[in-house]
Each structure stands twice: as structure tokens, then as C-alpha cells.
Amino acid sequence: MGKQKVLNNREYNILSYLKKFPNTYLTSQQLANALHLSDKTIRKYLKSLTRVLAEEGAVIEATPGYGYQFRIDDEKLFYQFWKMASQQQAFPRDVVQVEEARDRQFFILHRFFFDQWRPHIRDIEDELYLSITSVKNVLNECRELLKPYQLTIDYGADHYLYIKGDELDQRHFMMDYFFTPKYGNALNPYIDPSFLPEGVSFESLTIVVLDECREAQLLVSDFVIQNLVLHLALTIKRIQLGYPLLSPTNIKKEDAKLERTVAEAILKRIQKMMAITFPEEEVQYVAIHLSGKSHPRLNQKNADGQKYKSLVDLLEEMSAASEQAFEVDPILVEGLLTHLETLKVRLSNDIQLDNPLIGEITQEHGQVLEECRHYLSSLKELRGQNVTDDEWGYMALHILAARERYKARRKIRVLVVCATGYGSAQMLKSRLENSLGQSILIVDVMSYYQLNAEQLGHIDLLISAIDLSHIWLPVPYVFVNVFLSDKDIRNIQEKIKEIRPNLEKGEDKSKLNLPREENKGQAEEIFQQHFDPSRFLIIEANREKESLLDDLIKTLNKSPMEDFVGKMKDQLKLRESMGGVVFGEEVAVPHPTTALTEEAQVAVAILKHPIVWNDQHKGVRMVFLISPSSYSNPHLIQVSQAIGQWTNDKALRQALMKEPCFKRFKALMVESLQRVL
């Protein structure tokens, strides 16, 4: 394969949309409506994409009367191409990508903020092959984007261009423009591997923030945690590039002492972890994230009586007048009181909290948003204040959650997982209860980082707004959008149909269905893709956990990275710090938080003598080390569900222990896969 073709913004967006509907016919008009382009433009770029994909492991088939169908023929080749294309979109370097006006804006702003660019206007003319008039027009468009952040593109004394404005405002713009979906350039899934130092991940930064906030009993929302982690990553990158960090102008050091203490603890841990030195001003930046967006948990007893009564009265009035009533329950009142307290802090410090869901809230629940604004704006704390739509959107989420709780009836035991478990998780929970209220009982709502074996042992189904296909789960799992589309509901209903027979018969969850003979061929193929005799160990002697993991990791088909064993062990420790990986008493399923191998693989160890995994689990006799692919994992969910049977079924484990060999393991695991297919 020669030099990879660079996709422009429109080609990338079209392919991204097609990827969501593989092996499905879509007309050019459907694509045009979805992407807000003309039919002619769509057909133009489909032709160019068809030529590109022919060399990248995928095809776009055009069938008269049906439309266009996207299909992947070579998963490894295509996902290598897609990973590179995603990184190029996030970090544009090639003028070929800069075809559209929006692309030119992104290209120029990216150069200013990430490359310490100080060009002369003629430099831009030469680099983008534009006339001086066109360059000035693009710069003016960029200035319009910067204007709401009190930033501009100005001329220095040397007549070279630069970004003029406060450091805090620059970071705010970078967060919004480069790191959130607000402008359609979300970098999160496509972060360049070199963005953070080797061995450091966004997950590890998130854990540091979560740990320190929890230790200080500082409650923060999921979006705040994500934004703070991105802020820290951004700071690290800017320090590496040599950018000077200016002191913020509106933070009083005597304010928010708890938040400053937490900020200092977070930065101290990251400095030690990464061997990097933050400037003294960084404590203030982190503190302002925390002080404006966090507050100790409130309840009716410690909330101010008048505030509580005023809010309840308005909510009851709003519920009575609304087309869809909701119960003014303690969860709703507490959630809104907490939000109002933190909103007060933000308003007094002129801090704006962006709401990544505001577009969907406005489109899907505009009436609730307006009702929320109409009734709650009369609260004493909000009178005469300039409350943004983003803030009203957060309050509307509380109302929507209360409305869904009011309608709920539940049965099947479900655990709901979201980014970090707060606002968006409550919204998803309520949508689930409303749409599937006669079928499900939501046992709990939590973050991915709180997930552990104990909680998974008491549920029938896990529903997550985060893709968990890269980790092992012992229970059925469905990946959904936080706003729960019709397709998501159908997928959940199908999964419930699979679960319900055992529940209706009163059978134990661990009792297995008979393997389906018609699935044997597919089950054997999936087994061959993930398991191998070279990765099947029978351990006769007494062993320690660490040395056993070393041996299992060494059996994996390694990636070209240096110190693969060390990096994998670090990832396994990071995953285990988020929650246990031992299920039942005898089975451990370690796995990394980030994929490190090109192929999905499972290494297995059968132990004649149990090993001590940790203080709580001292009798582990079977270990499944799962290493997901960094490209694609189409069958890892089925493999995980099959392994889940081994954690629940003692007879299955005993059958292998009586005849511990790869041939017997294959026969039993293929049967497990037949049951879940």
C-alpha cells in the first residue's frame, strides 16, 4: 500500500456516517439530509471515497434503486486506515484537507493554538493557495469564532499575526472548539497518541481527578470531570510546546479553599506520575474548574428552609401545568438545590458551564426547556441573572429525570452505566424506565469507574452509554446512546427476550441453556480467532499472581511497542484499580483499559493449586487474560459472555479440571459460545 490518501472534512463525515450503518443501503438523499449537504455534493464525494476505500479494505457499492452500501472486507486494513484518518482530522497538517471554508478555519486556528504559529498574512496566502482577499475573509471568520471568548487575531509590532487574549479564555475556546462536539470536531476518540507522554492515558488522569475529589468528598458532575481531564491534558501539551501560562485575572486565592486543596493534590500526583512541573498558576486554573462546578451533597434537612419551600412550590406549579406531570420527589429537589448552589458560584465568578447535550435537549425536549426557564427564573437566586441556555439545559435534565421516574414500573434487574455516573446517567435511567418500564428494574446508576464484580453479581443486564466492548463483562450488555434511540430500545428488547425465559421459569441465572447446534460453525470460527494452544497454560506448581501474569502476557502476539509486558501490567493494574476482576471465588478475568495488541486475544491459565489474587480472593484457579484489538473487536462481546458462563457455572469448571487440556477446553468453550450466539 502506498501513501495513504488524506480525507477532507466532508469525505470523513460521510464515511463516519456510513460506518454506523454497515451492510445497509442508504440513498444519496438520506445521506444529504443527515449531513446537511446537497444530493449532488454527496454523490461527488461518494465517488472519491469509493476510489480511496478500494485500497483500504472496504467498499461502497452503488445499486440502482437501492442506494449505497458500505462494507468492510479487510477489518485490520480498514481500521488502520480509519485510525489514521481520524488522527488526521483531529490534527490537520495537509493542505489537501483544507477544501472547505470550515476546514480552512479549523486549519488556521489549529496552527495558532497548537503550533505556536505567528505567520505573516502572506504566509497564509502561500500555504493555503488563497488570494489576500480570501485570507482576510477567513481570518475575519476565525475572529467571529473567537469573539465570544474575548479573543481575537491581532497584529504584533513585527506585523506578524498572533492570538490576543487571556490565557483562561484561550483554554476555554480550545476546550469548546477542539474537544467538544459543539463545532463537530470532537477530538476525544481520535486523540493523537503523542498528545500525552508515553504510558499516560486519559483514563489515568481521570482516576487521579476522581480519587482526589472523592477523598475530599467533593461532588462533581460527569461533564465537569471530562472537561477537567481535557483541561489537564491541554495544559500538559502546552507546557511541552513551551507556551507561557498567564495568571487568571478573576480568581481570589482566599476563596474555595477546599477546591484549591484538591487542585494541589491532583497536580502533585500528576507531576509525580509524569515527571512534569506545573507552574504555580495551574493550581488556580484547576481550582476554578472545581469551585465553580462542585458542591457538597445537599438534602432537605440541611437546605435552607425558604429556598427549599420556594423551589418545591414552583415545581408543583410546573408539574400541574405541564402536559406530562412529574413527582416533586427528594431526588429532584436535592439535585436542583445542588445545581442552584453551584450556579450561584459560577454567576458570581462569571464562569460559563457548557452543556454538551444542549442541542439534543433543545431539539428533543424544547418544551421542557421553556417550562423550566419560565417557572424557575422567578427563583430569588435567578432573578435578573444572565442564565445561559446551557445552564437551563442542565436544570431541564433534572425535570426530565423526575418525569420519567413518575411513569416508571420495573422488573428485570438492570445496572445503568454512564461516563461518571451523575447527570447524564440519571437522564438515561429515566428514559429507560419510561420506554421499558414494564420490563426492567433499575438497581443502580453508576460510573464506569465504580463498576465491580460485586455489583455485576446481582443484576441480569447491564445498559451502558459508554462502549464497554473492550472490557470483559460476566452479564449481558447493551451499548446505547444517552438519549436512547428507537434502535437502542429494540436492541434492549431483544436482549430482554433472551434473558426472560430463565427468569419466568424461576431458574437460577447460572443455569445454562443448551448449545444451539446451528451456531457451531460460527462458534468454532470465533474460538479460532481468540484462543490458541500457545496461549493455554496448565500450571502444576504453586505460583504468585505477578509471575503468572508475566507468563500469560508473554504468550500474547505482541505489538511493536517497547516494554510490552510492562505496559500491559500497568494497564491491568489500572483496570483493577477501577473495580475487581475476580468473579465468584475461582475465576479472574484481568484486562487492560486500553487495547495494546493489534488482534483480539485471550490467554488462559488453569491452576492445579489456587493462587491468592488479593485479600478478598485467595482461591483463584482459572485466569482469562483478555487483550482486545486496537482496531476492531466484532466478537469480543460474545467471547465475554461465554467466559461469563464459566464464572457462574461450577460444573463447567470442574469438567475442565478433570481433563485439563486444550482439546477439552476448546470443546467446552465452543459450547459456551454456541449458547450466546
CATH number of domain containing 310: 1.10.1790.10
Helix (H) or strand (E) holding 156: none
Q: How confident is the model at residue 184 (pLDDT cuts 50, 70, 90)?
A: very low
Domain boundary among 229, 257, 291: 291
Domain count along the chain: 5
Q: What is the mean pLDDT of residues 208-226?
A: 72
Task: Please indicate, yes or no, whether residues 530 and 662 belong to a single structural domain of this protein.
Answer: yes
The least confident of 35-39, 491-495, 616-620 is: 35-39
C-alpha cell at 650: 461450577
Q: What is the extent of the structural domain holding 472?
A: 408-504
Q: What is the mean pLDDT of residues 417-425?
A: 63
pLDDT at 1 over 60: no
Q: What is the pLDDT, as a whole number, of residue 507?
A: 41
Which of residues 52 and 439 earns the better pLDDT score?
52
The least confident of 117-126, 342-351, 532-541, 657-666 is: 342-351
pLDDT at 504 over 50: no
Task: Please indicate, yes or no, whether residues 540 and 661 belong to a single structural domain of this protein.
Answer: yes
> If we measure between CA atoms, which residue out of 559, 469, 630, 571 comes closest to residue 203?
571
Instruction: Please name the amino acid found at residue 314.
Output: L
DSSP-assigned beta bridge partners for residue 462: 415, 477
Determine how many CB atoms are found less than 10 A away from the CB of residue 663. 9
Q: What is the pLDDT, as a whole number, of residue 496?
A: 84
Q: What is the mean pLDDT of residues 531-555?
A: 94
Task: Please indicate, yes or no, whether residues 468 and 344 belong to a single structural domain of this protein.
Answer: no
Q: What is the pLDDT, as a whole number, of residue 558?
A: 65
Scored b (16 or more CB within 10 A) or e, 496-530 reads beebeebeeeeeebeebeebeeebeebbeebbebb
In a domain, 135, yes or no: no
Q: Please provide residue 387's backbone torsions phi and psi, each rounded to the nearest 5 degrees.
A: -90, 125
pTM for the full model? 0.47
Q: How confident is the model at residue 440 (pLDDT cuts 50, 70, 90)?
A: confident
Q: Is the four-CA dihedral 550, 551, 552, 554 of positive or negative sign?
A: positive
Which of residues 598 and 175 earns the better pLDDT score?
598
Q: What is the pLDDT, as a whole number, of residue 227?
A: 64
Q: What is the pLDDT, as a whole number, of residue 632?
A: 74
Task: Please indicate, yes or no, whether residues 339 and 266 belong to a single structural domain of this protein.
Answer: no
pLDDT at 572 over 80: yes
Q: What is the mean pLDDT of residues 301-325?
A: 72
Task: Please indicate, yes or no, whether residues 547 and 662 belong to a single structural domain of this protein.
Answer: yes
* DSSP assignment string, 418-484: ESSSSHHHHHHHHHHHHHSTTTEEEEEEEEGGG--HHHHTT-SEEEESS--TTS--SS-EEE--TT-
User: Is-contact 584 643, C-beta < 8 A?
Assistant: no
User: Is-contact 600 636, C-beta < 8 A?
Assistant: yes
Q: What is the pLDDT, as a whole number, of residue 196?
A: 58
Q: What is the pLDDT, as a whole number, of residue 452?
A: 66
Mean pLDDT (the chain, rounded): 78
Gyration radius of the chain's alpha carbons:
27
pLDDT at 559 over 70: no
The least confident of 210-224, 304-318, 468-482, 503-517 is: 503-517
Q: Please provide residue 287's backbone torsions phi and psi, each rounded to the nearest 5 degrees.
A: -60, -40
pLDDT tens figures, 57-81: 999 999 888 899 999 888 888 888 8
Determine how many CB atoms are found less than 10 A away from the CB of residue 238. 19
User: Is-contact 447 420, C-beta < 8 A?
Assistant: yes
In a domain, 1, yes or no: no
| 3-class state of residue 416 by DSSP | strand
**Burial level of 430, CB count in 10 A (0-12/13-18/19+)?**
buried
pLDDT at 199 over 70: no
Domain boundary among 264, 291, 318: 291
Measuring CA to CA, how many Å separate 385 from each of 252, 347, 381, 382, 391?
A: 22, 8, 8, 5, 12
Q: What is the pLDDT, as a whole number, of residue 409?
A: 39
Task: Please indicate, yes or no, whether residues 569 and 660 belong to a single structural domain of this protein.
Answer: yes
pLDDT tens figures, 256-309: 678 889 999 999 998 888 778 888 778 877 887 776 443 333 334 444 567 778
The CATH code of the domain that includes 485 is 3.40.50.2300
Q: What is the mean pLDDT of residues 28-34?
A: 86
Looking at the chain, the whole-number percentage of residues with pLDDT higher than 70 is: 75
Task: Please indicate, yes or no, whether residues 473 and 399 belong to a single structural domain of this protein.
Answer: no
Domain boundary among 373, 404, 435: 404
